[in-house]
Structure 1
Amino acid sequence: MKYVLIGAGPAGVRAAETLRKEDPTSEITLVGGEPGAPYARMAIPYVLNKSITESGALQRKADLHYDIQGIRYLNRKALKVHARADGGTVDLDDGSSLDYDRLLVATGSSPSLPPIPGTDLPGVVTCWTLADARAIAEKLQPGNRVVMVGAGFVAGVCMKSLVGTGVKLSVIAGRAGQILRTMMAPTGSSMMQRWLEERGVDVITTGRTERIETGPSGPRLVMDTRVIEADLIILATGVKPNVSFLEGTGAQIDQGVVVDHFMRTTVPHVYAAGDVAQGRDFSTGEWVVHALQPTATEHGRIAALNMAGKTLPYRGSLSMNVLDIGGLISHTFGQWQGVEGGEMVEEVDEENFLYTRLCFKGERMVGAITIGNCNHVGAIRGLIQTRRPLGEWKDKLMHNPHKVMAAFVDLGQHRALPATAAA
């Protein structure tokens, strides 16, 4: 059996290792589009703030790991997939091609640039690759002016490395009106904005970005309300799935590559996993893209098992985001916006930057947000993922959301008892 895996992120690496375990004699080729060994993109902020070196970002630290596993690793980009009923071929950017019996698409996403002039000027970068990290690190000198265009999740991850460096940071949320709008309730967003502003960050929530141009000493951001001179402009306005090489295959593309419960695409013998795949959401049952490393890793494992002949459905991933912005840590889980006909409780401590929001549907917790309080996030996640009926704990949590750990422990003990003992 010949397996080809396009994309060397967490999904591709886990899939390759799983295939080797399940099919010891198979031929496995892992194709990565960036120079060097496979690394974890979520480690980039830690490279920027020098918590780790670039080698610390590698997914597997052992020398010759892939050789030892019998996995052929190629630093190439996929240009075109030619699918057949019994397999197919993949054209690479060096003019070569790979035959496959089973193909995994795990190519992730790439930055989606704003539709304005000047995004290709010197001093304008994204925050997505190790090469980007090197370019950003050169400008992280005290007093330098750094402008970040975008205030969503990608921007929030990058901000972790910028706050506290001494740079003069401006964050452009623009017409969104609030930072982290797609992953945070307005109360929490306002709290996080105030946290940033108290640490010297200029958060701009009004105005439209019109263009980037060359200024006297670096790039210049031109808005309809102001002009901002900069030493570095970081574009963090979202991402798009890397799927151009699938054109003409018949693969269904929506938010990402559409897959079924077994991570199969609409093309025979072609599977998808990770940020590029539109997989099942645990909470809603809908098919969405969850750009999360744990989700990518599990996608890769499930896809590989099915590629190797197992029949293992994917039950869905829990929407979950964790952000550390200058020391203020937030978590969002599941349906944090609440659900129709459901209930919600919030507790806010503005002075100490503490915020908890729990959302319920009937007797079950379906979503949550926490800011500044990490003690009980494991219990919150557990209560949501197990879909455990809360019983009398529902009212207790509505009156005091900080009792989630007690609820989790108590309900876990009751669940472990035999039916006769629990009656």
Structure 2
Amino acid sequence: MKHVILGNGPAGVVAAETLRHAAPADEIVLVGAEDAPPYSRMAIPYLLEENIDESGTYLRKSPGHFEGLRIRELRGRAVSLDEAGRRVLFDDGHFEDYDRLLIATGSHPVRPPIPGVDLPEVHTCWTLEDARAIARFAQPGARVLQLGAGFIGCIIMEALEARGVELTVVEMGDRMVPRMMTPQAGGMIRKWVENKGIRVVTNAGVRRIDRRASNDAPLDVTLSTGEVVVADLVIVAAGVAPNVAFLESTGVHVAKGVLVDDRLETSVSGIFAAGDVAEAPDLFTGEHLVAAIQPNAVDQARVAALNMAGGDTRLKGVLAINVLATLGLISSSFGQWWGEDASKGGAGVEHVDEVAYRYLSLQFRDDVMIGATSIGLTEHVGVLRGLIQGKVPLGEWKDRLLHSPLQFVDAYIARSQQPVALVR
């Protein structure tokens, strides 16, 4: 049996290693599109902060790791798929056949159609090559404009602040991190960031980027508000999209990402998908969603690999998980953090402490917690995940939490821990 894995990020690497354990005699090919060993994109900010070198981003540190596991590494980008012939065409013109295929091609940064977005001083922050370019421009005192204050944008922000740049952040939403934070929480993060000396502009986008006539700085960035910001560097952090173009005209069903079932198998037998490219059933609603975070990628990779090896393992459902450090302020959101309509049994509560930068939102459907958002509550954040992922029936504790949400640890202990039988 020959397994081809497209993508050598966290999902691809974990899938290859899981396959080797589950299918010791099978052939495994791990394909990466970049000229670099498998690495973690989430480590790039640490590289920009100069806390690590490029080797510190590598997912596996030991030389010859994959060779020792008899996993063949291949450099190439898939350009088309022949599912009937069970082979993949790569950008260098060669084909690779397979018996089982895993699509773990991840995602790519979105570049909005802004005039001037292709200028050499405009970069995304997604690859090692991007990081090298940003490091050249983002010298102490450099004027940097960052488009986007979402999850990725906030991670990059910390690295830029550490490099001593003069930073302006522009966000089209009405708050920072709008896709993982409630309005109250997003506003609290903005206040924290601004107190650190970073300018934040919300409800605004970039209209155009022009090269300046003077030598003072290379770029004039015109915002949708009409304001013009002078910049030495523009970083585009406007979100990501799954890498699915090579699947056009195939039988693999694609919506936002590659649609998979609870075995991580696609609409074509023998083809699986995992990670940022996969659109899998949600834990609560059963509706398909792309959850582009590393914990989900790793869980999906293990399930897919075990099934590729002939097993019958099921994913219980995707849980949206976001844990973010923004200039030292820790925030998190889990599950259906935005809540549920009251007509469907929804209820919610907020705890706000602006002075201490502590915030908690709990969301319920009937007596089950389905979502949570927190800021500054780092010690027991795993309890929130446990209550939500475990779909723990709270009973009378739901009403207690609606009045005193900070008692969620007590609720977890009371409702999910089994009593110990005493032996006499």
Q: Which TM-score bucket, shorter chain as reference?
A: over 0.9
Q: 1:68 aligns to what?
A: 68
Once the two structures are superposed, residues 208-265 of structure 1 have per-residue CA deviations (whole angstroms, 9 ceiling, x without a partner) of: 4211111242232112421111111000111111111112222111110111121111
Distance 1:268 1:196 in 2: 48
Matches within 5 A, 1:349-388: 349-388=353-392
Does residue 109 of the first structure (1) align with residue 107 of the second (2)? yes
Distance 2:392 2:247 in 1: 41
Instruction: Confirm or deny: 8 A CA contact 1:18 1:301 kept in the other structure.
Output: yes
Distance 1:400 1:53 in 2: 46
Distance 2:127 2:51 in 1: 17
Distance 1:339 1:254 in 2: 24
> What letter matches 2:234 in structure 1?
I
Matches within 5 A, 1:262-411: 262-341=263-342, 342-411=346-415
Aligned residue pairs, count = 415
Once the 2 structures are TM-superposed, how far is the Cα of residue 416 of structure 1 from its aligned partner? 4.5
Gaps of 5+ in 2: none
> What letter matches 1:180 in structure 2?
V
Does residue 98 of the first structure (1) align with residue 99 of the second (2)? no
Matches within 5 A, 1:158-169: 158-169=156-167
Once the two structures are superposed, residues 150-169 of structure 1 have per-residue CA deviations (whole angstroms, 9 ceiling, x without a partner) of: 12222122112123432111
Distance 1:213 1:206 in 2: 21
Once the 2 structures are TM-superposed, how far is the Cα of residue 417 of structure 1 from its aligned partner? 5.2
Once the two structures are superposed, residues 21-72 of structure 1 have per-residue CA deviations (whole angstroms, 9 ceiling, x without a partner) of: 1111111100000111100111111111122222111111111000000000
Once the two structures are superposed, residues 337-363 of structure 1 have per-residue CA deviations (whole angstroms, 9 ceiling, x without a partner) of: 111122111111111211111111221
> What letter matches 2:367 in structure 1?
E
Distance 2:316 2:283 in 1: 7
Instruction: Confirm or deny: 8 A CA contact 1:121 1:219 kept in the other structure.
Output: no
Once the 2 structures are TM-superposed, how far is the Cα of residue 17 of structure 1 from its aligned partner? 0.8
Distance 2:410 2:137 in 1: 47
Once the two structures are superposed, residues 118-172 of structure 1 have per-residue CA deviations (whole angstroms, 9 ceiling, x without a partner) of: 1110110001111111111223322110100112222122112123432111111
> What letter matches 1:370 in structure 2?
S
Q: 2:174 aligns to what?
A: 177
Distance 2:95 2:6 in 1: 12
- TM-score, structure 1 length as denominator? 0.95
Matches within 5 A, 1:209-288: 209-215=206-212, 216=214, 217-224=217-224, 225-288=226-289
SS of 2:306 mapped into structure 1: helix
Q: 2:20 aligns to what?
A: 20
Q: CA RMSD in A?
A: 1.5
> What letter matches 1:201 in structure 2?
I
Q: 1:120 aligns to what?
A: 118
Distance 1:32 1:220, change over 3 A: same
Instruction: Confirm or deny: 8 A CA contact 2:147 2:205 kept in the other structure.
Output: no
> What letter matches 1:16 in structure 2?
A
Once the 2 structures are TM-superposed, how far is the Cα of residue 391 of structure 1 from its aligned partner? 2.2
Distance 1:149 1:208 in 2: 7
Distance 1:139 1:416, change over 3 A: farther
Once the 2 structures are TM-superposed, how far is the Cα of residue 364 of structure 1 from its aligned partner? 1.4
Match of 1:134 among 124, 128, 132: 132
Distance 1:316 1:137 in 2: 39
Q: 1:56 aligns to what?
A: 56
Instruction: Confirm or deny: 8 A CA contact 1:359 1:365 kept in the other structure.
Output: yes
Once the two structures are superposed, residues 254-287 of structure 1 have per-residue CA deviations (whole angstroms, 9 ceiling, x without a partner) of: 1101111211111232111100010111132211
Instruction: Confirm or deny: 8 A CA contact 1:105 1:273 kept in the other structure.
Output: yes
Q: How high is the sequence identity, in percent, across the aligned residues?
A: 47
Once the 2 structures are TM-superposed, how far is the Cα of residue 98 of structure 1 from its aligned partner? 0.7
- TM-score, structure 2 length as denominator? 0.95
Distance 1:29 1:145 in 2: 44
> What letter matches 2:360 in structure 1?
T
Distance 1:383 1:44 in 2: 32
Distance 1:149 1:65 in 2: 38
Distance 1:62 1:164, change over 3 A: closer
Gaps of 5+ in 1: none
Instruction: Confirm or deny: 8 A CA contact 1:221 1:228 kept in the other structure.
Output: yes
Distance 1:27 1:205 in 2: 51
Instruction: Confirm or deny: 8 A CA contact 1:249 1:267 kept in the other structure.
Output: no
Distance 1:255 1:307 in 2: 24
Distance 2:161 2:184 in 1: 22
Distance 2:243 2:98 in 1: 20
Distance 1:42 1:208 in 2: 25
Distance 2:393 2:203 in 1: 43
Once the 2 structures are TM-superposed, how far is the Cα of residue 74 of structure 1 from its aligned partner? 1.1
Distance 1:329 1:180 in 2: 13
Once the two structures are superposed, residues 296-341 of structure 1 have per-residue CA deviations (whole angstroms, 9 ceiling, x without a partner) of: 0111111111111111121112101111111111000111111112
SS of 1:263 mapped into structure 2: coil
